[in-house]
Structure 1
Amino acid sequence: MGEGNPVLLITGDYIEKGTTSYILEETEVLKPYNFTWLDDIDFHKIDPANYQPNQVYKPALAETVWQSGRHNTLLQAIANDEMRAFFISIERTSMVAPYDGGMDFILKDIQTRDSYKLKYKAWLSKRQDGF
């Protein structure tokens, strides 16, 4: 992300349509961030076979700065599968999506991808397919 660079933190909450208070607002690990709540995504309209009427996803974003150690509490909660969130760097044209078994990087081009593969070779899966 680049030390001191601005990043967007993206997360969200599954709620019933019309809910005005969100579980994420009560989540201790997210209290240091100032979230802006975005419009609901109505999953029932997208996939009615798997989602109930009025079941929506409420995305939220917060502007923050990437600093070494600053987001460790949040990253630990994600690693423990207690929450889901990802970071976007507009400046670096990249996205980092940590999860309970690792981390995915979406990078701006093949050259950047290849340089990260070399830099973090020891962290990559030993499987032939890379997963």
Structure 2
Amino acid sequence: MSEGMGSGDAPRESMTGDVVDSVALSRLWDERWPGCSKLPSELRAARNRWVRFHALPGSKRYPGTEDEYGIVLARHSTILAELVAGSEVLVVTAGYSDASEPQEPCRSPETVAVRPDAMYWTSVCMDDEPGFESWMHLYVSQLVWSAGVLDPLLRQVADDVIANAFIADVGLRWLYHPYDGGMDVILSSSAERDALRDRHRDWLSTHPAGL
């Protein structure tokens, strides 16, 4: 993944209204994140702009009580509140099939339930071995940000019911990938990453690679 990112403003089509222009969004992605895979699990390849926070004390993976769910959602809310600069965010969720084009329904019922308004954006090959091809189909929706608005999605992610979702600002200046156990955050510069990491050192992993 390239360190450099385009400095142009987001195309107007991708920033207005509830309908996201998928062509404009793909063009903006190529400007902001040249050469970057859209597979959420691969976003952390931007090592010099990536930081991972764990969602529970002691790096516990899954919440087991309502109090622990509260901690998980509070940590997500805290980080997102520091990232979101405008009024809206993009939410990307995934479906799967063995074809390069989505064959509905490819998103799980749980995913559709939390993002029913999502529109098909693009598809990414996960495995191109002949006879074993598999594809991830990404769907995007735009919503007005407020604290707790993504809690239904994030709770399903915490339980590993929904995977491969990510959140971004409408200008794609940062990417936020929640997973069962924590969150990967990719920022526009190493300095921004360092500042965010330093504000929440208690949430970092003790793993030498930050995982």
What TM-score results when the alignment is normalised by the length of structure 1? 0.78
> Per the alignment, in what secondary structure is the counterpart of residue 198 of structure 2?
helix
Poorly superposed stretches of 4+, deviation over 6 Å:
none
Q: CA deviation at 1:57?
A: 2.5
- C-alpha distance in structure 2 between counterparts of 1:9 and 1:67, whole Å: 13
Tell me how many residue pairs correspond in the alignment. Answer: 127
- C-alpha distance in structure 2 between counterparts of 1:9 and 1:36, whole Å: 10
Of 145, 150, 154, which residue of structure 2 is paired with 1:66?
Answer: 145
Tell me what 2:155 maps to: 76
Superposed, 1:17-96 pairs within 5 Å as 17=99, 20-24=103-107, 26-27=109-110, 30-43=113-126, 47-48=128-129, 52-53=132-133, 55-84=134-163, 85-91=165-171, 93-96=173-176
Q: CA deviation at 1:66?
A: 2.3
How far does the alpha carbon of each residue in 1:55-99 deviate from its partner, in whole angstroms, 9 at most, with x for none? 432211111122111111110100111012110113471111010
- The structure carrying a bigger helix percent of its residues is 2
Of 113, 123, 130, which residue of structure 1 is paired with 2:203?
Answer: 123
* Counterpart amino acid of residue 196 in structure 2: Y
Sequence identity (%): 24
Q: CA deviation at 1:43?
A: 4.7
Tell me what 1:113 maps to: 193
- The structure carrying a bigger strand percent of its residues is 1
* Counterpart amino acid of residue 64 in structure 1: L
Change (3 A) 1:43 1:112: closer
Contact 1:24/1:30 (<8 A) preserved: no
* Counterpart amino acid of residue 104 in structure 2: S
Unaligned runs of 5+ in 1: none
> Per the alignment, in what secondary structure is the counterpart of residue 197 of structure 2?
helix
- The answer to whether structure 1 residue 104 and structure 2 residue 187 are counterparts is no
What TM-score results when the alignment is normalised by the length of structure 2? 0.51
* Counterpart amino acid of residue 5 in structure 1: S
Q: CA deviation at 1:37?
A: 1.1
